[in-house]
Homo-oligomer: A and B are copies of this chain.
């Protein structure tokens, strides 16, 4: 049974269900659970739900320690950028401890953080820094684009025996969508095809999925039939689904809210250029944020971000330059 839930409620539902299911799941972080009225506190008590100081290194480091000791912490980090002060724990501790131990320990934990709040939050709170995490063996990275995926990927993240960065998009926070009730798991490493089409493949994540679908709708009016693929997790990355789509369409546009050289789209482009080369009938084109810190003022902010028009333009570009098949 599905009903409509906002994206953020879907995430919370997953955490609640997993906490009810498994009492080793913990949930803590800043500015949560500060009163007895907190729904998580009421349901699970202060042992498992705690407010922490502004100490990300300790928060994440403690998650590593608690995970080594048999728990499954979910750390509420608010913004992905706040993880930067604790980056060692994220990329050089959590994902390496199992390996360095020769498989003797596991480090199951979820780092929950929002990103991409390009709505006047200016230079330090608007980043889309997920690509920093994709090349770290041992770490997984989920980027849900819909409320259903938000729920299903969070549940999967909590059950996963590895450290997972669960990055939800701030601009989707209140976005409603159908969400299955009860236990609902979305597997990692399986892309979703959001729209099928035969002319061009558009790969997009998070907030960009909606922009890609809008572009696809606009293109449909011109008779261009775009397929929209949402990888859902970028580590593991479902390269096969992307390649299959490109094999069908021969054309690909990659959309990413990050800057060009800090994007997941570059990584996907490189995979396509190597493993899908023979399918390609045009250049692998990226539509990313321009190479600037995100400015505060609205016209400048809009200027640097990918949008529907830029995607449409890029699709026309790859199709226009494609050899006649």
Contacts and interface: CB of A to CB of B under 8 A. Distances in A.
Interface of A: 57, 81, 84-88, 91-93, 95-96, 99-100, 122-124, 127, 129, 131-132, 134-138, 235, 237, 258-263, 265-267, 269-270, 272-275, 277-278, 280, 282-286, 291-293, 295-296
Contact of A261 (B85, B99, B267): B267
A261 B269 CA distance: 11
Contact of A277 (B95, B261, B284): B284
Contact of A270 (B96, B277, B286): B286
Nearest to A84: B88
Contacts of A272: 273
A206 B285 CA distance: 28
Given A270-B266, A284-B273, A293-B137, A99 B123 contact: yes
Nearest to A134: B261
A122 B134 CA distance: 20
16 contacts: A57-B85, A93-B124, A96-B123, A96-B293, A99-B292, A100-B293, A138-B293, A235-B261, A266-B267, A269-B273, A269-B274, A270-B284, A273-B284, A274-B285, A275-B283, A277-B284
Contact of A99 (B95, B135, B295): B295
Contacts of A282: 277
Contact of A100 (B85, B122, B286, B291): B122
A225 to B, nearest CB: 22
A47 B292 CA distance: 35
Contacts of A265: 270
B262 A134 contact: yes
A164 B263 CA distance: 20
Nearest to A122: B100
Contacts of A57: 85
Contacts of A263: 135
A182 B71 CA distance: 59
Given A84-B91, A274-B283, 4 more contacts: A91-B129, A135-B262, A266-B269, A273-B283
Contacts of A81: 88, 92
A274 B286 contact: yes
Contacts of A95: 293
A124 B92 contact: yes
Most buried by B among A87, A134, A286: A87
Given A100-B123, A134-B261, A291-B137, A277 B266 contact: no
A93 to B, nearest CB: 8
A188 to B, nearest CB: 15
B132 A132 contact: yes
Contacts of A275: 283
B292 A136 contact: no
A214 to B, nearest CB: 23
Contacts of A136: 259, 262
Contact of A280 (B86, B88, B277): B277
**CB-based closest 4 A-B pairs:** A135-B262, A277-B283, A269-B270, A273-B273
A292 to B, nearest CB: 5
